[in-house]
Chains A and B, each alone.
Chain A
């Protein structure tokens, strides 16, 4: 041991090359997050809210601009399809085509979520600390999608999770359930990261490195015991599936979605899912492609369990936020179907699905935040009866979004399901696709139940009022709905982008 120390001491350590252009979006988001902390510290209370919105918006806009700049220079650098991407920071971060797509998705969804969080006219009863937390979480998600070794991935996982735990508990009005959501999410999240970490440790023991590419090399030929490999893979995947709220690791989802402030739920539902599945796709493709015949059957089972749990539990929910939570569990199952189709179609279709699902979900939560009774948001479904008579526009928009979640044609949800299932079919998973179709039919029941409730029931006497949305919420809902429609009619552009290239190891 000491000899090794001495041996290493002789060498001059070279600083790793850093492609600042490639990682600029992440640096900007995290840098502005630090700036946002300073604003919290030094700016007077009454001026903080507006300033924080400005800082967060500037962060996302600048990050988006630098992302666009990098993409265009990257495309210009290579042949007709552009370079595949850059691996930087001594191989810790890989900015490849899927990572760029996911970053774009995260930033776009981040704008919508920020709009919902920033609107104080309807929901905003949170402290200004929500903004730095939001930026840190967003930065963590971006790193998570691009992390090329497991340790970076773990740190990113915590950077994205810890702020989210706190954001869940920020509601002032329904404080008890908000705090309960936070404590549940935190304890279970920490529990899951412990599993992830143990998996990481076992894989380190197996491969002697935590780089995804090294694990892939080791899996092809090493004398270490496969117990380490598969034990590690199992635990690692459990940690990832937890973040993606895939059943049976979904137990936190309904409680947390219901308890957290609605704008935070929107952010969490859309962006965490994007980040988690970005991570799952990268880990499975880059590190474990050669062992797919061993783990694929197991993930089949997990996907089926998730779809079944989401669809069946969702049927009898009485709270609209809980219902969307179970819908997200079912969608996680569909996404997993695409993620385990180990071909380029599987990758691009899952990326598309993530984008489509994210917009629809954020818009849905935006709508939910508008329906209020005297004691705050009216999330109990019985209060939604006959809403169409009171507010036809809102009910119409929500119906459209529910149809998108159910996967009816002319919505992005349909195209998403279509491309995911056809990718799975091409990979010879016909039985799984049939099961997925059955469960998407079952899930359609509970979306339609809400539609029927809104249109064909008599409104309750003391029903909720629909508050007039502030400009921010209006913009968020409009954008989300518009993108849902646009991707349902003209998905070509996004599909092209999603399928422009694979992972760089």
Chain B
């Protein structure tokens, strides 16, 4: 419990380089302000300013990181007090920054990946008349995200949390002339609100029970609460995490959010913002350490989500939606990881980092493909693009291999560690969570291979097609300003996993924040066997995908489906439409089921309540008749009730 002790002792005041940490927030905020207030005057150089602020922030973050590594492990938690934000006698909220290994890790991820994506966007958005505004929103997002991870209390975190929500809303709806984009933005906004309520109530509970919301004090005092309250807080925090990170049952907004420009999908909806939930749980580790039940719920949510994401990913033909469900599923892994407690916090963060690299790379690759394909997203219209876009293919391929856990690439190290830790749980949990995570490996391999095959290999189906706006397809490689970030991310996808896990580098570095990484309990299988098993499953997934997609030409339109599993099994012998029947159909059915559940149960409840309230309202407002005498009667009735109630309370 090293970290609890540290927390109890409180953090050290920031010194040296760390005293300028406010720059991290100020730089992107300055960029956003200049670009938004400057108006059209900044059109010419706005994108450059947008990139410059984030790159500067990255450089500063790197300096800060290096200066922190030179400190003793115990001195690595620093606090920078900025000003008293909300001081009322007993409610005093300071606005301060917490600079510790966990937040610095995120700073590097956000500004690093953020810089690359900013640069990429110069090319991607070059034809957009509103490019300046796009960069302003991106800068705003970076500032809010940094505030989220750097804040030294839950209220500051909440502030950043809402800020990234706002930026995400603005960016999803960036092309608001598309009705789908506007709807998706609204959906994201609403579903995030559900999670936010959970987070807000959790903060209220802390405030009510502990009288503080600063991390150091909350973590120091949390042990004094009874188990029920801690459980409630942990579940409410989890609800917040589910909303922001697209976890079951609040996952539906994330795929829709792909209506936004692709760099946004890469930065916000793959690498950074959606991982805020993981950050929240990891940051609150002293709370989760106290409640095994809370952690169990976290792991269950993570497991369910990772399976749902995989299964649905198998059914989509839209390249970005497949990647989006893949994100849902991978965050499921991370949530599963941090849900395991002290044996998993660091593993979840490790996977978060590697995923940040390869998923951002994959999205940028997908963006590059769309850039060359008239913004078409249907993979059935692609095919054989490898020759036309060699760099995109290479970088995308490396990201793909990293994602499915190909040996010695990033995903291999980070994902397997989580699977092993999951197997190490006691009793049935080990088998269930480990097994599910293992199954996920096969499914991931399947849908990603399907994506690769449909996009880059096979017949060049686009030759005989026109895009929906009537143009022919002329696929071409993207300009250097786009490919260079992709290459850098691809390099990261290859090496990050090894570098981070070699000698437990990341886990040791994070120890002051997350506590020591414990060894998983008693895995039922030896580690080598598990690695072999997961590799085997991966190969099976890849093989199946090749069998069902790679061998036969891919139909340009979705084929008619047979309706019975028996006929599907028979068709299997001919290898005919097997892809569709065995995987897509159940997947689709499941998807449809989930969509129906989503529409009918979740949306239904929301719209139902809204409808009921509107109906109630339209009826009740008729009671406001406009007759002054009926108003007087209402008042008299109210007065009689108030007086009668008072007398009843007194004399009963």
Q: Is A221 an interface residue (CB 8 A)?
A: no
- Can you list 28 pairs linking A and B with CB atoms under 8 Å apart? A184-B631, A188-B632, A195-B639, A227-B647, A230-B647, A230-B650, A231-B643, A237-B642, A248-B635, A251-B635, A294-B650, A295-B646, A298-B645, A298-B646, A345-B88, A345-B91, A409-B159, A410-B162, A425-B208, A426-B208, A430-B208, A437-B197, A441-B197, A445-B613, A456-B182, A490-B85, A492-B85, A495-B87
A490–B642 Cα gap in the complex (Å)? 39
A302–B635 Cα gap in the complex (Å)? 12
Find chain B residues with CB under 8 A from A230 CB.
Answer: 643, 646-647, 649-650
Find chain B residues with CB under 8 A from A234 CB.
Answer: 639, 642-643, 646-647
Q: How far is the CB of A246 from chain B (nearest CB, A)?
A: 9
Asked if residues A313 and B621 are in contact (CB atoms below 8 Å), the reply is yes
Tell whether A495 pairs with B88 under 8 Å between CB atoms, given A188-B631, A248-B638, A441-B197. Answer: yes
Asked if residues A248 and B637 are in contact (CB atoms below 8 Å), the reply is yes
Interface-side segment among A53-61, A129-137, A275-283, A414-422: A414-422
Find chain A residues with CB under 8 A from B90 CB.
Answer: 344-345, 426
Q: How far is the CB of A417 from chain B (nearest CB, A)?
A: 10
Q: Which residue of B lies closest to A296 (CB)?
A: B649
Asked if residues B88 and A498 are in contact (CB atoms below 8 Å), the reply is yes
Q: Is A316 an interface residue (CB 8 A)?
A: yes
A298–B650 Cα gap in the complex (Å)? 11
Find chain A residues with CB under 8 A from B87 CB.
Answer: 492, 495-496
Asked if residues B614 and A315 are in contact (CB atoms below 8 Å), the reply is yes
Q: Is A255 an interface residue (CB 8 A)?
A: yes
A294–B649 Cα gap in the complex (Å)? 6
Interface size of A in residues (CB-CB distance below 8 Å): 65
Tell whether A192 pairs with B642 under 8 Å between CB atoms, given A226-B650, A492-B84, A495-B86. Answer: no
Q: Is B610 an interface residue (CB 8 A)?
A: yes
A237–B637 Cα gap in the complex (Å)? 14
Chain B interface, DSSP helix/strand/loop, else mixed: helix
Q: Is A153 an interface residue (CB 8 A)?
A: no
A230–B646 Cα gap in the complex (Å)? 6
Find chain A residues with CB under 8 A from B613 CB.
Answer: 312, 315, 442, 445
A binding-site residues for B, Cβ under 8 Å: 183-184, 187-188, 191-192, 195, 226-227, 230-231, 233-235, 237-238, 242, 248-249, 251-252, 254-255, 294-295, 297-298, 301-302, 312-317, 344-345, 348-349, 408-410, 415, 418-419, 421-423, 425-426, 430, 433-434, 437, 441-442, 445, 456, 490-492, 495-496, 498-499
Find chain A residues with CB under 8 A from B86 CB.
Answer: 415, 418-419, 491-492, 495
Asked if residues A192 and B635 are in contact (CB atoms below 8 Å), the reply is yes
Find chain B residues with CB under 8 A from A235 CB.
Answer: 639, 643
CB-contacts of B352-372 with A (<8 A): none
| Inter-chain pairs besides A234-B642, A248-B637, A499-B88, 12 sampled, C-beta below 8 Å | A191-B632, A227-B647, A230-B649, A231-B646, A238-B638, A248-B634, A248-B635, A255-B626, A294-B646, A315-B614, A409-B159, A456-B182
Interface size of B in residues (CB-CB distance below 8 Å): 47
A499–B92 Cα gap in the complex (Å)? 12
Contact count A vs B, C-beta below 8 Å: 145
Q: Is B207 an interface residue (CB 8 A)?
A: yes
Asked if residues B643 and A252 are in contact (CB atoms below 8 Å), the reply is no
A235–B641 Cα gap in the complex (Å)? 11
Q: How far is the CB of B96 from chain A (nearest CB, A)?
A: 14
Asked if residues B624 and A251 are in contact (CB atoms below 8 Å), the reply is yes
Q: Which residue of A lies closest to B208 (CB)?
A: A425
Q: How far is the CB of B543 from chain A (nearest CB, A)?
A: 49
Asked if residues A297 and B649 are in contact (CB atoms below 8 Å), the reply is yes
Asked if residues A422 and B638 are in contact (CB atoms below 8 Å), the reply is no
A302–B646 Cα gap in the complex (Å)? 12
Q: How far is the CB of A119 from chain B (nearest CB, A)?
A: 27
Tell whether A422 pairs with B158 under 8 Å between CB atoms, given A230-B647, A316-B618, A445-B610. Answer: no
A147–B157 Cα gap in the complex (Å)? 43
A238–B87 Cα gap in the complex (Å)? 34
Q: Which of B91, B620, B626 has its CB near the most chain A CB atoms (within 10 A)?
A: B91
A76–B616 Cα gap in the complex (Å)? 56
Q: Which of B84, B162, B204 has its CB near the most chain A CB atoms (within 10 A)?
A: B204
Asked if residues B91 and A419 are in contact (CB atoms below 8 Å), the reply is yes
Q: How far is the CB of A240 from chain B (nearest CB, A)?
A: 11
Q: How far is the CB of B436 from chain A (nearest CB, A)?
A: 35
Asked if residues A238 and B642 are in contact (CB atoms below 8 Å), the reply is yes
Name the contact of B204 in the complex, choosing from A192, A251, A433 (C-beta under 8 A).
A433
A422–B91 Cα gap in the complex (Å)? 9
A183–B631 Cα gap in the complex (Å)? 13
Q: How far is the CB of B203 from chain A (nearest CB, A)?
A: 9
Q: Is B89 an interface residue (CB 8 A)?
A: yes
Q: How far is the CB of A285 from chain B (nearest CB, A)?
A: 16
A425–B90 Cα gap in the complex (Å)? 13
